[in-house]
Amino acid sequence: MFLEPGRLEEDPVGTHQTLVHFALLLRNHLDLEDGLFYPKARANTVCGPIVAKFEEGMSHLKATVDAYILGWPDAQSLANDPSGFRNYTQAVLRVLERRIDSEEAELFPQLEPEGL
Q: What is the residue extent of each domain of the chain?
A: 7-114
Average pLDDT over residues 53-71: 90
d(CA 85, CA 59): 23
What global pTM score does this model have? 0.84
Q: How far, in Å, are 4, 35, 45 from residue 87 at the CA level?
A: 11, 31, 41
Whether residue 86 is predicted with pLDDT greater than 70 in this model: the reply is yes
112 DSSP assignment = G
Q: How far apart are CA 113 and CA 116, in angstroms?
A: 8
CB 12 within 8 A of CB 75: yes
Residue pLDDT, tens place only, 94-112: 999 999 999 999 988 888 6
Give pLDDT, residue 49: 84
What percent of the chain is predicted at pLDDT more than 70? Answer: 94
pLDDT tens column, 8-40: 899 999 999 999 999 999 999 999 998 898 888
Q: What average pLDDT does range 69-89 have in this prediction?
A: 95
Report the pLDDT value the prediction gives residue 115, as an integer from 0 to 100: 47
Q: Which residue in 38, 33, 105 sits closest to 62, CA to CA? A: 33
User: Residue 16's Cα: distance from chain center in Å?
Assistant: 17
If one compares 116 and 48, the residue with the highest pLDDT of the two is: 48
> What does the mean pLDDT of the chain come to?
89
Angle formed at CA 95 by CA 29 and CA 105, multiple of 5 degrees: 80
